[in-house]
């Protein structure tokens, strides 16, 4: 392999800002901040707005628009969408 052309692929820590969930994975994205983990490792830190721990799709709290009080039916009745005559 040539020297100097490959990205710096290393362990990094991602933190979910909404609940503090942390996980370590490998990445080559640049980071400005660092975090010291409980095991003493100092890793680059990436702050995320949401992860699979808090996203409604993955937590099972996502609501279907069909179950929100008949909004779809009201729309279809109002605009006659999807009704064959």
DSSP string spanning 34-59? EEE-TTS-EEEEEEES--TTT-HHHH
To the question of pTM greater than 0.85 for the whole model, the response is no
pLDDT digit of tens for each residue in the chain (85 aa)?
Answer: 688 898 889 999 999 888 888 999 999 988 999 999 999 999 999 998 888 787 777 677 766 555 556 777 777 778 876 656 5
Structure tokens at 40: 């003493």
């Amino acid at each position: 392999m040539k020297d100097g052309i490959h990205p710096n692929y290393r362990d990094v820590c991602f933190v979910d800002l909404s609940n503090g969930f942390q996980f370590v994975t490998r990445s080559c994205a640049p980071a400005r901040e660092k975090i010291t983990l409980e095991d003493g490792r100092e890793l680059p830190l990436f702050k995320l707005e949401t992860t699979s721990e808090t996203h409604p799709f993955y937590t099972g709290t996502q609501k279907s628009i069909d179950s929100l009080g008949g909004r779809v039916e009201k729309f279809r009745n109002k605009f006659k969408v999807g009704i064959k005559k």
